Amino acid sequence: MESKAKLFGHAIHPILIVYPLGLLSTAVVFDIIYLITGNPRWSFVSFWMIAAGIIGGLLAAVFGLIDYLQIPRGTRANRIGLFHGLMNLFTLILFALSFVLRRPFPEEPSSTALGLSFVGFVGAILGGWLGGELVERLGVGVSSEANLNAPNSLFHANTRETNTVHDKGVRHA
C-alpha cells in the first residue's frame, strides 16, 4: 500500500521523521558531552534541540497517522504501525518531560531530565526500528503490492517480493 500523504510523489512522513530523530539523538549526544566536560553550553544547545525535535516529531506524527489510518485492520502491518506510533508518542512524552524539567535552568539539567532523555533515546531507536519494519519488511507506504502480513524480519528471511526481473543472469531494476 502506498502512502496517501505525498509531496512530489514521495511519502511525507519518512521525509519529516529524519529531523526529530536527528535533533533528539544529537541532543542526547550533547548531554553526554555536557556530562563529560561540564560545559553548560552543551546542555543549553541540547535544550533547544529537544524543543525543535518535539515540534518536528509532532508534525511528522500527523502524516504518520494519515498513513496508519490507511493500513487494513487485522494485518500485522496494522499492529506494527500501532506499536510504532505509540512508541514514538511515548518517546516524545519523555523528551517533553525532560524539556519541562530543564526549562528553569537549561544550562544545568537535573539527573531526572537527563535520564528521561536517555530513556527517550532508547524509545526512539525502538520506534525507528518498528518504522523500518513497516517500510522495509512490509512495504507500507512504498509498494502497492505490499505484503502486510510478512513475518518478523528478526527471525525470518525476506519474503517480500521485489519488482526486479531476472533475464539471462542479469538483474534489471
pLDDT confidence of residue 96: 98
Over residues 80-96, mean pLDDT: 96
Handedness of CA 54, 56, 61, 62 (dihedral sign): positive
d(CA 148, CA 1): 8
What angle in degrees, to the nearest 10, is found between the helix axes of 40-68 and 76-102?
150
CA 46: distance to chain centroid?
A: 19
pLDDT confidence of residue 134: 84
Question: pLDDT grade, residue 156 (50/70/90)?
Answer: low
Question: pLDDT grade, residue 168 (50/70/90)?
Answer: very low
Residue 5, pLDDT > 80, answer no
Q: Is 72 exposed, middle or buried (0-12, 13-18, 19+ CB in 10 A)?
A: exposed
pLDDT confidence of residue 137: 76
Residue among 124, 12, 18 at smallest CA distance from 65: 12
Least confident piece of the model among 9-13, 20-24, 30-34, 124-128? 9-13
Over residues 13-27, mean pLDDT: 91
Q: Which of the two residues, 70 and 103, has the higher pLDDT score?
A: 103
Over residues 145-160, mean pLDDT: 62
pLDDT confidence of residue 97: 98
CA angle 12, 91, 155 (to 5 degrees): 80
H helix runs in 69-136, sequence order = 76-102, 111-132
Give rounded-to-5 percent helix, strand, coil for the chain: 65, 10, 30
What angle in degrees, to the nearest 10, is found between the helix axes of 111-132 and 12-37?
150
Model confidence over 89-144: pLDDT tens digits? 999 999 999 999 999 999 999 999 999 999 999 999 999 999 988 887 777 766 66
pLDDT confidence of residue 140: 73
d(CA 49, CA 24): 6
